[in-house]
Structure 1
Amino acid sequence: MTWWLGGLVLAFAGANIHDPYMVPVRGWSLPAIVAAGLCGLLVQLRGRAQRGLRHRLLLALLWGAVPLSALGAEAVFQTRKASVLAARGPLALELGRHFIVGYRRVDEVEALAAHGLIGGLFVTRRNLAGRTAEALGAEIRHLQDIRRRAGLPPLTVTADQEGGIVSRLSPWLPHRPALSTLAGLPPDERRAAAHALGAGHGRDLSSVGVTVNFAPVLDLRHDRPRDPLDFNSRITQRAIADDPEVVAEIAAAYAAGLSEAGVRPTVKHFPGLGRAGRDTHHFRTAIRESRAELEETDWRPFRQLLADDPQALLMVGHAIVAAIDPDRPASHSRLVIDGVIRRDWGFDGPIVTDDLVMTPVYQYGLCRAVAEALNAGVDYLLVAFDGRQFYRAMACALEAGKRGELDGAMLAASRARLPQAPADADADAKVAAKPER
């Protein structure tokens, strides 16, 4: 029984060596699984017939499938990667601008940046391990130089520097407190402190070339039992307060300080993960409250800041809003993004998904999610935790584009919200300045 179980587990692991959950062992998983499979096969072929020839042959087939599953998965990944890297032309440029990717080494993204296959970067502590903030800044400048030489728009460089427990670039950059620590101050004091905190984060981030911060958090804190399986969201620890007015007031001051320092804010995580019953990194979950209740509570800070701050981006998470679209997460729901946010609220700024490298997206289907997000009016597709998943996501987008499954009007509208190449910007300026006859 042990041999059967071991073979099945290794075959499954081999077939999924490029799954995001394999990131911690990816560096050695391929050779280890291949070696284990070959050893197991050899044992079965040379072992004594304990249960007959048929039993041995079936076990040999199973253990022979172990290295084949891993090598097959590697071949699929490398083929997909090569096809994306070779992609050129208008469709590749059109779709590449929508992707923000995480990476470990700069050589992983140099070609992607040079050929317009990505629109932005996500930097975090893995980009600083064993290095200095100055080295990261030089790396980002190098990549921006590549873009300039190629005549492409500048990369949107993003980070997750909220303060408190989510300070992904600290201690290389100063560790600053969470906005929630300001909620108990008198109104004038908390506004001033929030503005100062935003300005401080802005100076820190702009010093290394970051242009967008994924902050502030606008999720409301709701009184609910702690979920023992919430390993990543931890919204109760990150939320500013339970009062929409206090959240909006502090977040607006923080966003203003951030913008004044040259870094754009991102309000997150719509539709309000304080209402989500489970951690959306790992579990599919739905928000069951009515739209009327959400508009009066969780959505008030979002709507207020998006109306008042022209610099703000909006991050949409993977919780389902059952009252609007019970069939798919908000991050790629046309009813939520184009219906509620664009049409009802009138927001025409950039929208970014939460990291697509999360279980609800993979359960739904990454290819479907990518196409639906673009057709819904999402501007940036974030692939942060495991940047190698970009090749799969981009391949999905290219295939959908070739099959005519992407909405041209939505892509055109999104293009106007994204950074433009210098030549495009000059052309637009000339058109705008052209006198009427």
Structure 2
Amino acid sequence: MKLLRVIGGAMGWLALATLWFWAWHLKDPHLRFMRAWELPLLLGALAIGIALAWRLARGWVRPVALGLAFGALLTALCNEAASVQHRAQVNAASGPLAQALGAHFIVGYDDAKNLRELARKGLIGGIFVTGRNVRGRTAAELREEIAELQALRRETGLPPLVVATDQEGGAVSRLSPLVERQPALATLLDADLPAERAHAYGAQQGRALAALGITLNFSPVVDLRPGRAPGRWDLHTRIDERAISADPVLTAQVALAYEKGLESAGVRGTLKHFPGLAGVTEDTHHFAATLRTPVARLATHDWKPFQEVSKQSDAAIMLGHVILAELDADSPASFSRKIVQQVIRGEWGYQGLLVTDDLTMGAAYNHGLCNATVRSLNAGVNLLLIAFDHDKYFDAMHCAQQAAQRGALDLSMLERGNARRLQSFR
């Protein structure tokens, strides 16, 4: 009997710790699948916990357990209130500064109706279209949805929205079946004249994307193939399946031809994921990742496709959430001012568009969404992607507004960033 009480007590403390953790991380992107019923479920669990603590706990355990349970309850309610407040304040925002900040965000969505006011007021700069937006729909329906949002921009005299997607071919083909699923670019290496085939591939894909209203495609992947199996916890990145080749010269040739094909149809591509994922085993969707390859090696090998293709095309560059230990041991490349300004803008002289990988991925989000947002803007990144958990846009935009109000944003960097975006998407 005593053993059962000990086990029951241990399980009770474990349950309380779990509820505290849940309350603290309310609305975490990893819990997006339960967003609609997350708060009621948590409040119900806490109510049960409070009732059990009152009924079963004895002595000093009762007030401690009740205090922890009520503390978790208060934490959950405060987090919910903050989320509601951020959404309300962003929706109420207007004026040049709000538009200058909003122009830096590309957001995912479930229902385009929820984007109409944000688009009309200039509080977003673009949208990300993915599988959930095409499931069970026709190409005509998606095309009309995008066209309606663009019409709102024209009516208010605002620049067109950047309309982005992730159609690499192969495993990552977010708009298929509305857009024909093509094999991965790497399969072209098995045929004669791979560069010519890559151009035709890009042109075909570009025409299909342009017909829907897509203007920016997050492809090609120019990370080099690592030549090893994915790490145990690599659930989503799986760069070995998506990379073109382990050879930087061949990767650059195929990627450039593909990019030129896209551009011939009026769609811009994106070189990803700088500084390269070949040297990391962690999945940045969930975990921090550090690239320890010497910069001298990266500059002559892994970075060659980024440099060669960006010099000869209008491709954007996507910044991954990888820490480049030799240059900035504290920040992922996606919000490292040193890496952006010293390497990409400085040494390379690249003046095109820079876009972050999704800021709701664990490797960025775990640094703090506010921190990642403000530092990305101050680093000179042009477009901040918030795609998987698009509700987090309101928190990120609120952070940017607060930073601007307290003078923590480099406004000259914002102006240059908006100028690059306007030059690229007119």
Report the CA distance between 1:240 and its aligned residue: 0.2
Specify the alignment match of 1:158 in structure 2: 164
CA distance in 2 between counterparts of 1:256 and 1:144 reads 25
Report the CA distance between 1:281 and its aligned residue: 1.6
Paired AA for residue 330 in structure 1 = A
Residue 104 of structure 2, aligned match among 90, 98, 108: 98
CA distance 1:185–1:403, shift in 2 (3 Å):
same
Specify the alignment match of 2:31 in structure 1: 22
Specify the alignment match of 1:32 in structure 2: 41
Q: How does 1:237-316 map to 2 (within 5 A)?
A: 237-309=241-313, 311-316=314-319
2:230/2:281 contact within 8 Å kept? no
1:4 aligns with 2:13: yes
CA distance in 2 between counterparts of 1:139 and 1:400 reads 33
1:33/1:66 contact within 8 Å kept? no
1:403 aligns with 2:406: yes
Report the CA distance between 1:421 and its aligned residue: 12
CA distance 1:344–1:420, shift in 2 (3 Å):
closer
Q: Which runs of 5+ in 2 are unaligned?
A: 1-8
Report the CA distance between 1:43 and its aligned residue: 3.7
Specify the alignment match of 2:124 in structure 1: 118
Give the structure-2-normalised TM-score: 0.93
Q: Can you list the C-alpha shifts for 1:260-287, whole angstroms capped at 9, x where unaligned?
A: 1111111111111112231122222221
2:147/2:213 contact within 8 Å kept? yes
Q: Can you list the C-alpha shifts for 1:288-336, whole angstroms capped at 9, x where unaligned?
A: 1222211111111110011100x21111111112222222111111221
CA distance 1:61–1:380, shift in 2 (3 Å):
same
CA distance in 2 between counterparts of 1:246 and 1:110 reads 43
Q: Can you list the C-alpha shifts for 1:233-254, whole angstroms capped at 9, x where unaligned?
A: 1101100001111101111111
Q: How does 1:176-215 map to 2 (within 5 A)?
A: 176-186=182-192, 189-215=193-219
Q: Can you list the C-alpha shifts for 1:331-373, whole angstroms capped at 9, x where unaligned?
A: 1112211111111111111110111112222232322222221
1:195/1:253 contact within 8 Å kept? yes
CA distance 1:18–1:415, shift in 2 (3 Å):
same
User: Which range moved further: 362-371 or 194-203?
Assistant: 362-371
SS at match of 1:418: helix
2:100/2:415 contact within 8 Å kept? no
1:385 aligns with 2:388: yes
2:237/2:285 contact within 8 Å kept? yes
Report the CA distance between 1:225 and its aligned residue: 4.3
Q: Can you list the C-alpha shifts for 1:6-63, whole angstroms capped at 9, x where unaligned?
A: 2321232133221111101112111111122223323443x2xx55243333333333
SS at match of 2:355: strand
SS at match of 1:241: coil
1:136 aligns with 2:142: yes
CA distance in 2 between counterparts of 1:58 and 1:327 reads 38
User: Which range moved further: 160-169 or 190-199?
Assistant: 190-199
Give the structure-1-normalised TM-score: 0.91
Count, aligned residues: 417
CA distance in 2 between counterparts of 1:294 and 1:244 reads 11
CA distance in 1 between counterparts of 2:327 and 2:20 reads 41
Report the CA distance between 1:70 and its aligned residue: 2.7
CA distance in 2 between counterparts of 1:80 and 1:223 reads 45
Specify the alignment match of 2:361 in structure 1: 358
Give the share of equivalent positions with the same residue, in percent: 45
CA distance in 2 between counterparts of 1:128 and 1:55 reads 53
Residue 91 of structure 2, aligned match among 57, 79, 85: 85
1:222/1:275 contact within 8 Å kept? yes
2:150/2:161 contact within 8 Å kept? yes
Paired AA for residue 133 in structure 1 = A
